Structure 1
Amino acid sequence: MQSVELQLTQDQVSPDMAELVLTVLSASKTIAHKVRRGALAGVLGSAAQQNVQGETQKNLDVIANDILKEALLASPHVRSVASEEEDNVVAGNAQGGYVVAFDPLDGSSNIDINGQIGTIFTIYRAVDDAAADSPAQFAQQGRAQVCAGYVLYGPSTQLALTTGGPSRLYTLDTDGEYLLTQAELAIAVDCQEFSINLSNLRHWAPTTQAYIQGLQAGKDGARGKDFNMRWNGAMVGDVHRVLMRGGIFLYPANTQSKLHNGKLRLLYEANPMAMLVEKAGGKAVIGAQAILDVLPENLHQRVPVILGAANEVDAFLSAEGYA
């Protein structure tokens, strides 16, 4: 098994970006250690504050954010940092060639129950005609990403990563090194598994409700096959399942005011996951438009997310009247 560092070299990733990726991964190892210790490290429970999204932060949210931000701002290659937990862009080295956005700890509701959580990150090239602390640094379509990945803190700590080529899977070994364990992830075009928060059914558009009810009907319905439902309550865990064994993940818009345009953040969650899914042969859309083609309107923009098996995403689009 080869290290992520060697794989980055073989993938002809530039030395500066490779060093930056390794900086992110070094921070993730520190977070993984704290996650493993849990209550023993005093990292569980809620912090007495809310983030820019109006969500109550968990202690580990704050800790993970600080670990990543400190590591990235110390890098000479980072011009700007954006975090789901920060109100504004944080300026780094004015000469840095890259900007980094991240969700420091996806799946916060799972922290105190020892459920799946993870770190999601994305890297873009810096915009030369924008200040280091300007949101304009991140006003780039997802297709401009030069790297996307996540670290899943589970029974083993795993890294899914693409630098523009295949989505690859690495596992953190006991010596503290990420080793390649799957050279090229591939999502089958068809599936019989879906991931969605079914408790929101009443809030979805009638076409979305009909699509999900069609999956529930199984062999007795028009689809002619049974579907299983899985839901982790953490995007990083649900998308990991799709990458590993196929399926479709959905977080559609609904009639609740704060979720009308979707719940998941374009910059910190949708774009990096969409890149990983597309590089594994899947599709990722917000409706008629591919997620990676969306031009961001603001730093914390939310969007609907539908991604996974190509034929099943097409079936969803057809049900919604987009195809």
Structure 2
Amino acid sequence: MNDNTAIGSTIGTTLDRFIKNKQSEFPFATGELSQLLRDIALAGKIINLEISKSGLLDIAGAYGTTNIQGEAQQKLDVIANVRFIRALKNGGEVCAIVSEEDDEIVEINVDSNYVVAMDPLDGSSNIDVNVSIGTIFSIYRRISPVGTHVTKEDVLQKGDQQVAAGYILYGSSTMLVYTTGHGVNGFTHEPSLGEFVLSHSDIKSPQDGNIYSINEGSYYSFEPGVRKYIEYCKEQRYSARYIGSLVSDFHRNMFKGGIYIYPRTDQALNGKLRLVYECNALAFIAEQSGGMATDGERRIMEIDPLELHQRTQLFIGSPTMVQKAQSFL
């Protein structure tokens, strides 16, 4: 008698099935948040396809405008923003979006329950040289009554009010990593099936590490304590690794053990990274994987956001390294 169970290799658990199996862990489990995560995954697949064509079509390079940050927009920044807004609008679960690429809140469906804060394409200036980039997203439950216009209070919530957060890394393979407050799981895109498949379950970040990630080109504009910590890292023979894409640097350090630092500088007195749609999301993931995220003094997820594009310092990664860095400040 033939053993048919030995025929064919196991594909693994798809994102859709994983979300369905874990739906009971979601706050207010009604299926809405599950669908919202699927909508984000769908947009990620579309962006992944766009990025893979960037060397062949005229979609790389500068768009010719600047965003609210005063940063030159890349063509794929604009494309990614449009794709995600369209996917979330069509999905019907989101009342409003706050994006790095938009000056104000984008209200899309007042009858929905969730707010999404996102950086549609982090590190997009790396596209022209084929370096890893990513998408960062946070999901909050709205505060204002359903059916009314979205308020700033809906989007200016502390990070510890997130119901889900994640990122999509477009690299040698494309990965979606997310948390709903019950650990961190990673899904790798299987291109022949067009599905995200569970590849890294219950991710745990090392408590310590030997990688430090910081733009040392700004060394002389850092505060003395940050410079002293960099010298300490060199004395310890730590490895310097800096890609210039927040998602990529964070992803590597979460798996291998390390610290990512973006401190204030003479040019950015409050820091450069955005609290609402970059730091809060990664802080949630870091903590759920056993890591730590602070602004040098406070836990990132306890900071009260006062404006949509508020900036902050960021010290994130293995707890022992973050605590050591803080001791120098």
Q: What TM-score do the two structures reach when normalised by structure 1? A: 0.94
How big is the shift at 1:129? Answer: 5.0
Aligned mates of 2:149, 2:309 — CA distance in 1: 17
Aligned mates of 1:6, 1:132 — CA distance in 2: 34
Where does residue 128 of structure 2 map in the other structure?
112
Aligned mates of 1:190, 1:166 — CA distance in 2: 19
Match of 1:141 among 140, 151, 158: 158
Where does residue 196 of structure 1 map in the other structure?
214
Amino acid at match of 1:170: F
Question: Contact 1:187/1:246 (CA < 8 Å) preserved in 2?
Answer: yes
Question: Contact 1:190/1:310 (CA < 8 Å) preserved in 2?
Answer: yes
Alpha-carbon deviations, 1:49-86, whole Å to 9, x = none? 11111111000000000000111122321111111000
Aligned mates of 1:178, 1:136 — CA distance in 2: 33
How big is the shift at 1:271? Answer: 0.4
Where does residue 221 of structure 1 map in the other structure?
none
Where does residue 265 of structure 2 map in the other structure?
254
Match of 2:298 among 286, 289, 296: 289
How big is the shift at 1:242? Answer: 1.2
Aligned mates of 2:92, 2:175 — CA distance in 1: 27
2:261 maps to 1:245:
no
How big is the shift at 1:208? Answer: 1.1
Aligned mates of 2:169, 2:136 — CA distance in 1: 9
Alpha-carbon deviations, 1:252-305, whole Å to 9, x = none? 11222xx11000000111000000110000000002100000010100000000
2:279 maps to 1:270:
yes
Aligned-pair identity (%): 36
Where does residue 21 of structure 2 map in the other structure?
10
Secondary structure of residue in 2 paired with 1:32: helix
Secondary structure of residue in 1 paired with 2:198: strand
Matches within 5 A, 1:48-63: 48-63=64-79
Aligned mates of 1:227, 1:139 — CA distance in 2: 37
Match of 1:206 among 224, 233, 244: 224
Where does residue 56 of structure 2 map in the other structure?
40
Question: Contact 2:116/2:138 (CA < 8 Å) preserved in 1?
Answer: yes
Amino acid at match of 1:209: R
Question: Contact 1:88/1:135 (CA < 8 Å) preserved in 2?
Answer: no
Where does residue 183 of structure 1 map in the other structure?
201
2:246 maps to 1:232:
no
2:106 maps to 1:90:
yes
Secondary structure of residue in 2 paired with 1:102: strand
Moved more, 105-114 or 33-42: 33-42
Aligned mates of 1:77, 1:170 — CA distance in 2: 22
Aligned mates of 1:48, 1:6 — CA distance in 2: 42
- Runs (4 or more) in structure 1 with deviation over 4 Å come to none
Aligned mates of 1:61, 1:27 — CA distance in 2: 13
Question: Contact 1:73/1:81 (CA < 8 Å) preserved in 2?
Answer: no
Match of 2:190 among 148, 166, 173: 173
Secondary structure of residue in 2 paired with 1:42: coil
Secondary structure of residue in 2 paired with 1:128: coil
Secondary structure of residue in 1 paired with 2:98: strand
Aligned mates of 2:170, 2:162 — CA distance in 1: 24
Aligned mates of 1:132, 1:48 — CA distance in 2: 33
Aligned mates of 2:242, 2:258 — CA distance in 1: 12
Question: Contact 1:107/1:117 (CA < 8 Å) preserved in 2?
Answer: yes
Aligned mates of 2:202, 2:257 — CA distance in 1: 14
How big is the shift at 1:41? Answer: 2.8
Alignment root-mean-square deviation, CA: 1.2
Matches within 5 A, 1:294-305: 294-305=303-314
Moved more, 123-132 or 197-206: 123-132
Q: What TM-score do the two structures reach when normalised by structure 2? A: 0.92
Unaligned runs of 5+ in 1: 219-225
Secondary structure of residue in 2 paired with 1:146: strand
Question: Contact 1:99/1:137 (CA < 8 Å) preserved in 2?
Answer: yes
How big is the shift at 1:177? Answer: 0.6
Amino acid at match of 1:152: L
Match of 1:31 among 28, 47, 60: 47
Secondary structure of residue in 2 paired with 1:289: coil
Aligned mates of 1:62, 1:18 — CA distance in 2: 26
Secondary structure of residue in 1 paired with 2:56: helix
Aligned mates of 2:256, 2:149 — CA distance in 1: 40
How big is the shift at 1:132? Answer: 3.5
Question: Contact 1:109/1:233 (CA < 8 Å) preserved in 2?
Answer: no
